[in-house]
Every structure is written in C-alpha cells, then in structure tokens.
Chains A and B, each alone.
Chain A
Amino acid sequence: MLRLSRPFRLVSPTVLSRVRCYAQASPLGVDHSIENNLQTETNRLSKTLTKFWEQVSLEETPENVTIKLDSKPLRTPLGNPLTLPQSRKLLSVMVLNEWSNLPSLSVKPYVLPLTSLVSRCIDLEKANEDGVDPELVAKIGGNREKLTEGLLRYLDTDTLLVFSPANEYEGALRKAQDELYLPIISGVEKFLSQINKDKKEVKLQILDADLHGLRGNAQSGETREVAKQYLDSLSVWDLAIFEKTVLTTKSFICGLLLLLNKSATVTNIPELQVSMEDIARAATLETIYQVERWGEVEDTHDVDKRDVRRNIHAAAIVAFGPPTSSK
C-alpha cells in the first residue's frame, strides 16, 4: 500500500502550496510548526486521513460552544479543546458544517479551512500566555514577536503598493491599479497616522515600475514602527486571522482591510470600507488582466481564483464579531 512518508499537515493554516521566497532570510508562509504526536482528533485526522467518527455535535454552555465528535470534544493539534466564545456562535455552526459535510473514508487536506484557522488561533493564544513551555512555542513555529516580524516584511513588497508600467496592457492595468489602489493607500496612510503615537503623518513608499524600474521596495523605519504598533494592538486571534489573510493575498494592507471591516475595531475612514470581494480583486488584479490577455490556464487560474476567495472569506468568518475575552 502506498504510504505518504510525511503526512499532510491537515490543520496547519500556514501551509501554502506555492511560496515565493527571495534572497531574504527564511521563506515566509512555510509551516514551521513541528510535527507532534499528541493524541488529538485533528492530529489523528491529519495522519490517517480517514473518518473515524459517526456524529458531530455542538455543546453549549452559557459562555462557550464546543464542537464534539462522538461526545468527545474536538481538539486542536496542540491538544486544546476547540471551544469558541458564545459571541462566535455563527462560526461554530460553520465549523460543525465543515465536519459533518466531509465525504467519508478519504478526507482531503484542503477541506477544513475554518477548523484549521480556528485551531491556529486557539493554539497561538495558548502559546502566547505567560510562562508557557518554550517547547510549545517552538511547536507552533514561533510566538507573537516572530510572527509580527515576518508579517512586517509583507508591507515592504505589498501587492497593493506595486504599480505596473503604464504601457502594459495598453495602460488598462495601470488605470485599474490607480483607481483601486490609490484611494486605499491614502486611506491606510490616514489610518496609520491616526494610530501613530508620535502624531506624525505616515507615508507609504510605493514601487512604480515606470519611476523605480526593477528593484525591491522598502518602507521607512517610522512606517514600520507604526505598522508594528498596529500589530501589537491586535488580539492574538486577530493576529492569526491577519496572518492568514496576508499569506493568501501577499499584502499587509489586505490584512488590515479585512480586520477593519470584519473585526470589532471599526474604522470611520470611507476609503477603507470595502467588501471581501474587493479585497480578493485587489490582491489578484494583475492576474485578472493577464487572463484577459492570454486566456485562462486550466488547473491554475480557475483553482487559484476560488482558493484566494475561500481563504479570504474563511478569515472573514473567523474575524467577525466582538473580540474574545482575552486581550
């Protein structure tokens, strides 16, 4: 019988099939979490890839909702029960839906996006508590500081900050980028200036292919500092959701947009009020024009289109609602 030497990590959200890495330190978006042999339901599923339960149900207490498999609580890869606060009831129904809709016998590694993200949120929260075992932090691939550092790198090369040459696609792509990106960029600058402790205006460095040619992009130290302030202000859950969005869209700004529209901290800047479809479109704008010009490649463009949208919407579903009781 054919066996996989290293099983898919079913519930680790940071797995990305295609990761672009440049000459910088270590690649981002790679699953750094260490495989562990804890006897949890999610681990068992990811190792055997077979359905081992009959019934999925929800158990409600006044504060929490727990997802249960055959009367046992579902546990995350690090062994924490998959328990959600009452405020995220809608999410619990969707997770239940995911598990009860699995076509039995062979479970594929891509069918549990919500469970995977929620597990990441819960495990990351546990790994960030004070006095936690350093081994646990290593297992999940680094704590908050490490995560923040990795995410900040996406602001340098943000998809929404890179503009294509004006003569490409008869100028159509550049026009669309100007229309879509420029208001968002000025909105983000406004937002970052608002939260800046020094009360100074924050500017984002864009990369214009006509002006700057082929080179990397980097934000100034001050901008990075403010962006870091923002990340530090997020709850652990929001940070995990932010990470998921950034890894999907390759854009720090998209992560910011998603949280500002879905999480509790609502913004009053009109430019930043966008729908999830807008975020997906902004993140894949160049592909849209490539497909228009060269045609759609089977097994690539059609799959990627759904992949980006399902991931963004999954992040939105987890983000929705008031923040958790913890900070």
Chain B
Amino acid sequence: MSELTLSTYKSLLRSLVRSAKHNKIQQLQQDTKKQIALLTYNRIQLVRQQQEKGLDAMARSKVLKQLSAVGKKIEILKTKDPLKSKELLFYSHSKHLKDIVLSLKDDPRSLQHLKDIAAFVVNQSEYEQLIERYNPGLKMSQEEKVQKTANKVGLQVPE
C-alpha cells in the first residue's frame, strides 16, 4: 500500500468509526437494557426457588450463591458506561475493508473514490443527527409520547 493510499484509508476508517459512534451508543444501551432485563428475570426465578419449602441446606446455599452472583452482574451492567466501551473505537469489518482497498488499483481515481465514501458516511450521519434533532418525537417511546400529549392538554397519565 502506498503512503497516500494508506493515509486515505486511515481517514476513511476514522470517518467510519466517528459516524457510527452515535448509533453504536444506542445499540449498546439497548443491549445492556436487554441483558439487565434477562438477569432480573433470572433473579426472580432464584428468589422463588429459595422460598420453596423443603429445600435442604446444600441446595439453599447454592441458590443463595447464584443469587448474589446475579445481583453482582446486574450492578456491574448498571454502572457500565456505553460511552467508554472499546467497541466505539474500532471499525468491526476493518480487515475485510483493508483487503479490498489493497486490491484496488493505486490510481487517483480509486483514491478519490475512497474519499467520496468517507464523505458519504459523514454526510449520512450528519443528516440523521439533524433529522433527529429537529424531530424529537422520532426518538421518543410510545409511553413518552402519550405522556407528553396528555400534559399538553393539562392532563396526566396515571402512574
């Protein structure tokens, strides 16, 4: 790879990573939410087992151990900051992309094309962010929408 191609490739990777960040954070947050919900369900199941009568001491201590392990996992997930995730710093298909870039001809036309791809990625993500900013309703959940609509006419949704 010539130096010029390398620097163009690097800046393409940079814009790919940067523009994906916004969506990645949302993905990570939703993932964490899902995991927490699953673990909470596990915990409820364990608590139920624990309350069952006729459980011998061995089994009870085992359930207790599991319970504290699940509790710990939930705590860790809750304190995890998606903004600090290492996933945000990498482009996940970089090896594949690199192979393709290497197979390209080393001419100005291909270089310009890599720059155009970077420009596309940047413009697309900026466009998405602007649309989101000017249409806050897009991001809201259904409950939030109902709540805000009710508030607008002086009503409140029952808890």
Contacts and interface: CB of A to CB of B under 8 A. Distances in A.
Interface of A: 1-2, 58, 89-90, 93-94, 96-97, 100-106, 108, 110-111, 113, 262, 275-277, 298-299, 302-303, 306-307, 309-310, 313-314, 316-317, 320
Interface stretch (B18-26, B36-44, B48-56, B150-158): B18-26
Contacts, number: 88
A96 B120 CA distance: 15
A265 B116 CA distance: 19
Contacts of A89: 100, 103
B26 A104 contact: yes
Contacts of B131: 108, 110, 303
A90 B93 contact: no
Given A1-B142, A306-B123, A310-B124, 17 more contacts: A58-B96, A90-B100, A93-B93, A97-B93, A100-B93, A101-B23, A108-B131, A110-B131, A111-B124, A113-B124, A277-B119, A302-B130, A303-B127, A303-B130, A306-B127, A310-B120, A313-B119
B27 interface: yes
23 contacts: A1-B142, A90-B104, A93-B93, A93-B97, A93-B100, A96-B93, A97-B16, A97-B93, A100-B93, A102-B23, A103-B26, A105-B30, A106-B138, A111-B124, A276-B116, A298-B134, A299-B130, A302-B130, A306-B124, A309-B123, A310-B123, A314-B120, A320-B116
Interface of B: 16, 20, 22-24, 26-27, 30, 92-93, 96-97, 100, 103-104, 112-113, 116-117, 119-121, 123-124, 126-128, 130-131, 134, 138, 142, 145
B20 to A, nearest CB: 5
Contact of A104 (B27, B113, B119): B27
A106 B30 CA distance: 11
B93 A310 contact: no
Contacts of A309: 119-120, 123
Contacts of A111: 124, 128
Contacts of B112: 275
Contacts of A104: 26-27, 30
Nearest to A89: B100
Contacts of B121: 97
Nearest to B118: A313
A313 B23 contact: no
A309 B92 CA distance: 25
Contacts of B23: 101-103
Contacts of A262: 113
Contacts of B92: 100
Contact of A94 (B26, B103, B117, B138): B117
B97 to A, nearest CB: 6
A13 to B, nearest CB: 14
A306 B117 contact: no
A299 B131 CA distance: 8
